[in-house]
Structure 1
Amino acid sequence: MNRIALYHLETLLWIARLGTFAAAAERLNTAQPTISARVRELEAQIGYPLFRREGRRMLLTVRGRQLVSDCEPLWAALERTLAADGLSGARGIVRIGTGEIAAASCLPEFVAAVERDLPGVTLDIGISLTAQLLQDLLGATCDLVLLAGPVASPGVRTASIGAVALEWLGAPATAAAVAQGSQPPVWSLPRHSPLHQLMLAAMEERPSPPPAIRTCNNVRTLIDIVAAGQGVALLPEAMTREALAAGRLARVWPSPKGRIEFQAAIRAEESDPVVLELFRRASLLRMDG
């Protein structure tokens, strides 16, 4: 029998899932030359090529695709068997993407629980906007994301984690000027963000002419801008409670009807037990407020 090690098959399946040798190397916490060497070893054992080069891309051959198809259910069964006694000994790096609002609201308790219960799992966390988070998830550069929704994609599995109330806020002086008829500019996240769309919908509820709209891709910077008296913003209540209580911010207009929804998401074909466990835990988070 040909001497094929489990790490050969694991490497092949991760290349097939993630699309590149580099992404598989990152996921398996090794170097790209190691991934290439494993593929050469596997090809030598089975006697036929698994990949063909097209430009800078390495694509599975017909027989390579068949091997992946045959091995996927076997590998999934092996992962389930190894996880049957629990994940307390699980090890690895899980890449998590999150928006600022989720990061400020429920991510700290999630991280604390994972550190406590799964000490061998290392979390690699990045913060970005919803459109980029979805792109990172579908492109397999993130394993799990917490993002503003709703998200509808056939390649994504989601779980609702609640919604956050929004407030029209500005500096106290700005609120006083608005009460006298002033029309300050409105600040928001960029146009492709769910918060921007909710801001536009909320502006339609107001009888006055629409003000100038300016954008910034960072919620905390938006808070600082309007607190400095430079305009008004529709901001998450969860991130502005302290500033309101301290008098740095004040309510400018009545709260809108809409709330911003949030979801935890993984790729629909995800089978890694550790990622699935973290998704299960993330689906229990609640951002209602």
Structure 2
Amino acid sequence: MRLTLAQLEAFYWTATHGSVDKAAHTLHLAQPTVSLRLRGLEDALGYKPFERAGRGLKLTLRGLDLLDECHTIFASLETIEAHAGAQRVTGPIRLGFAEGFAMVCLPEILSRLHADHPGLQPEVMVATSAQIEPELHDLKLDLAFLVHPSEHKQFKLEPLGRQEAAWVAATRFDLPAVISPQDIATLPIISNPVGSINYQQMIGWFASAGLTPKRIDFCNSVSMLVNLVDKGVGLGIYPCKLAENALAAGRVRILQSSPQIDDTPIFAKYPRQGSKPKADAVLSTVISVLSEMDYLK
């Protein structure tokens, strides 16, 4: 009996999810159909690539080897299809954007996608990177643009550049030319929730001097954080590009600090096996827009 691509796809997604039911959902097939393909795969291979682990499945040693081979096979197929023009860049693609990044860049990105790929249908999620990344890992998104993403063997990371960030404060605050943690520890601080990149930046900066802020107001929205800082409610860390209009109007200052706030790296992240032509089209568009906007270092 010969192997089929359908059997390998059933194996790949079952291995990715650890579940036949979830693989069936991803492939838009009935669960018995996926199970039948897996049995056919076992017959063709002459060994079992999975073993039971509680209610789920885990790969055997030979199954792990087969998964590596699938990565190579699917990558080759995608290359062949792209060269032959077998796949047109049309249909829906689910995208995730870190909110601070999206606030500046998303309008131009979507406009360019509409012009260059009119058959593409972006479905956009905008949130913090900490909220978006689990959705990507659950394959509810096809491609995401994230700050400080984690590494994952099933996903590819492509660095795009670094986003300049700094402390920002309303001009009503009487602050020195270069601020230290001691200068602002008693002032109200606006932060994204615990666990977010924004929170880690903020709390780590104060911790460098052995301090914690006296008051932290949490806000899950980057755009609202920017608005609250603009209105003088408190101080916050966010991308300098988000402060440009308020800075030009004289409402806020971008603060020099010691220690400095590190620039935040932006990455594209997407499954190694998935809708690659569509992801490539979006990624190429985003890179082009960022270059023209001079957004990232």
Provide the TM-score with structure 1 as the length reference: 0.72
CA distances 1:108-134 after superposition (whole Å, capped 9, x unpaired) = 333333333344443332223233444
Distance 1:199 1:189 in 2: 9
Letter in 2 for 1:213: I
Moved more, 210-219 or 18-27: 18-27
Aligned to 1:153: 151
CA distances 1:22-65 after superposition (whole Å, capped 9, x unpaired) = 5545544x2xxx24132133245456476565444244567766
Distance 1:46 1:153 in 2: 30
Distance 2:86 2:115 in 1: 12
Distance 1:265 1:283 in 2: 10
Alignment CA distance shift 1:91-1:12 (3 Å): farther
Alignment CA distance shift 1:101-1:194 (3 Å): same
Aligned to 2:180: none
- Is residue 2:201 matched to residue 1:198? yes
Letter in 2 for 1:98: F
The answer to whether the Cα contact below 8 Å between 1:163 and 1:288 also exists between their aligned partners in 2 is yes
Matched residues, number: 276
Deviation at 1:164, TM superposition (A): 2.5
Moved more, 118-127 or 263-272: 263-272
- Is residue 2:225 matched to residue 1:217? no
Distance 2:208 2:4 in 1: 63
Provide the TM-score with structure 2 as the length reference: 0.70
Alignment CA distance shift 1:264-1:218 (3 Å): same
Distance 2:202 2:131 in 1: 20
Deviation at 1:185, TM superposition (A): 0.9
CA distances 1:231-279 after superposition (whole Å, capped 9, x unpaired) = 22233332233344456x422x733343532322325844653234544
CA distances 1:67-94 after superposition (whole Å, capped 9, x unpaired) = 6555543333222211113487134543
- Is residue 2:45 matched to residue 1:37? no
Aligned to 1:231: 234
Alignment CA distance shift 1:145-1:87 (3 Å): farther
Deviation at 1:101, TM superposition (A): 0.8
Letter in 2 for 1:14: W
The answer to whether the Cα contact below 8 Å between 1:157 and 1:268 also exists between their aligned partners in 2 is no
For the residue of structure 2 that corresponds to 1:83, the secondary structure is helix
- 5 Å-filtered alignment, 1:27-176, equals 27-28=26-27, 30=28, 34-43=29-38, 45-46=40-41, 48=43, 54-60=53-59, 68=67, 70-86=69-85, 89-149=88-148, 151=149, 153=151, 155=153, 156-170=156-170, 174-175=172-173
- Is residue 2:253 matched to residue 1:266? no
Aligned to 1:288: 296
For the residue of structure 2 that corresponds to 1:264, the secondary structure is strand
Alignment CA distance shift 1:92-1:23 (3 Å): farther
Instruction: Tell me how large the CA RMSD over aligned residues is.
Output: 4.0
The answer to whether the Cα contact below 8 Å between 2:268 and 2:283 also exists between their aligned partners in 1 is yes
Distance 1:18 1:123 in 2: 25
Moved more, 213-222 or 151-160: 151-160
